Amino acid sequence: MADHYEVLGVERDASPEDIKKAYRRLARQLHPDVNPGEDASERFKLVTHAYDVLSDPEQRRRYDMGGDQSPFGGGGAAGFGGFSDIFETFFGGGGQGGGGRGPRPRSRRERGQDALVRVTLDLGDVVFGTHRDLEVDTAVLCETCQGACTQPGTSEVTCDICHGSGHVQRTVRSLLGNVVTSAPCSVCQGHGTTIPYPCGTCQGQGRVRARRTVSVDIPAGVESGLRLQLPGSGEVGPAGGPNGDLYLEITVETHESFSREGDDLVATLEVSMPDAILGTNTSIQSLDGSVDLEVRPGVQSGDVLTIKGRGITPLRGSQRGDLRVGVHVVTPTRLDHKERALIEEFAKRTKAPKPRLAEHQQGMFSKFRDRFRH
């Protein structure tokens, strides 16, 4: 029994790439289409089987351990399934694959491209959601031919060159015999049909450019950078193919008084020093109406007043966030003589301590960070 390594002319420690190169060289020399002799045919079988064994790691391991000595055993060819696989290795496949079925013609109908529209919202739109009618410049179905691409009363005709297959074949001679290749027909561009009388409105495309209005309900809770997908609202495809999708890219404008943190709205309330000392009741104008606020006596800068349910409705949910109002006590910078005298009298009566470092309180600075983050 001939040794597989000797048949291929390689060392026993040859790499898989060396084994493949040796087999290809011998196969080109011994293939029956190139060398029809009886001896060459037998050698070709031995070379092919040797490669089948040594190209498969498991079969090679068993062979090196003394197994698989039959000339054509081991369950058949592992590296190649026969002469057709050899052709595929050297030339990338024969003419018509898929069990004898030739390539099919390419449809003119294709899916349309997706479209992107940028939408700018104010913060109030984010709180409650909004409705928009958007003008979109896109491809729409041709009203003249309704996507048929032909003049009314006419139709496509079978291509005279490829006879409707959409492909043409040619034979290439090689060392291993004749190989049939297939390529798209240059006359019909692979469609299998031609259009002798294209539609004059769309020039045979089945669609035209136009502006159309897209009505969309934008949900509450969106934020800048978010893209909303509207399936089937993009441009129509060639030859009346299905529409692509429309994407809305959201940008939220900055509000002069409110900012967003998660599902909460954040604002700052300026309180005069007398109101901070004595307390007061006030109202503020939120994004959905007036809101009453109680400023308790002795309120400090950085304190946060929370109004439940006056924030943003989440994108996937129904319970609104809160409105959080951070207090900023405004210290007067200009006092007349009488006002200054009153403050000095107040200081004497209260015997206020001198400024000093306070004991650290976890979360004290986070209140300021929350208010001034945006």
Q: How far apart are CA 348 and CA 330, in angstroms?
A: 21
Q: How far apart are CA 227 and CA 305, in angstroms?
A: 34
**Predicted confidence band of residue 62 (pLDDT cuts 50, 70, 90):** confident
**Predicted confidence band of residue 223 (pLDDT cuts 50, 70, 90):** very high
Percentage of residues of the chain with pLDDT beyond 70: 82
Worst-scoring range by mean pLDDT, 40-54, 136-150, 233-247, 305-319? Answer: 40-54
- Known binding residue 185? Answer is yes
Burial of 371: CB neighbours in 10 Å, binned 0-12, 13-18, 19+: buried
For range 60-78, the mean pLDDT:
57
Burial of 201: CB neighbours in 10 Å, binned 0-12, 13-18, 19+: middle
- Known binding residue 202? Answer is yes
Provide the pLDDT for residue 101. Answer: 54
Provide the pLDDT for residue 72. Answer: 43
What's 258-365's CATH class?
mainly beta
Provide the pLDDT for residue 102. Answer: 61
**Predicted confidence band of residue 47 (pLDDT cuts 50, 70, 90):** confident
CATH 1.10.287.110 boundaries in the chain: 1-63
Closest CA to 61 of 47, 78, 44: 78
In sequence order, what are the residues at sequence separation of 6 or more whose Cβ sits closer than 8 angstroms to the Cβ of residue 277?
297, 298
pLDDT of 350 over the 50 cut: yes
CB of 299 closer than 8 Å to CB of 280:
no
Which residues of the chain form beta strands (DSSP E)?
115-121, 130-141, 157-158, 167-174, 177-184, 193-194, 207-218, 227-230, 246-252, 259-261, 264-272, 280-286, 289-295, 304-307, 323-330
Q: How far apart are CA 320 and CA 312, in angstroms?
A: 5
Nearest-5° Cα angle at 202, 196 to 207: 120
CATH 2.60.260.20 boundaries in the chain: 115-156+195-251, 258-365
For range 231-236, the mean pLDDT:
93
Provide the pLDDT for residue 249. Answer: 95
Please identify which residue in the block is written with the tokens 């390594």. Answer: 5
pLDDT in tens, 116-156: 999 999 999 999 899 999 999 999 999 999 999 999 999 99
Provide the pLDDT for residue 232. Answer: 92
CA atoms 277, 279, 285, 286: torsion sign:
positive
End-to-end CA gap in the chain: 84
- Known binding residue 142? Answer is yes
Within 10 A of 330 (CB to CB), how many other CB atoms are there?
A: 12
Q: Where are the alpha helices (DSSP H) in the chain?
A: 4-8, 16-30, 38-54, 57-64, 83-91, 123-128, 273-278, 337-350, 364-372
- Known binding residue 159? Answer is yes
Q: What is the DSSP string of 213-228?
A: EEEEEEPTT--TT-EE
Closest CA to 305 of 331, 276, 334, 333: 276
Per CATH, the number for 1-63 is 1.10.287.110
For range 304-308, the mean pLDDT:
92
- Known binding residue 149? Answer is no
Provide the pLDDT for residue 317. Answer: 79
pLDDT in tens, 266-279: 999 999 999 999 99
Q: How far apart are CA 19 and CA 64, in angstroms?
A: 15
What superfamily would CATH give domain 115-156+195-251?
Urease metallochaperone UreE, N-terminal domain (2.60.260.20)
CA atoms 229, 231, 232, 238: torsion sign:
positive
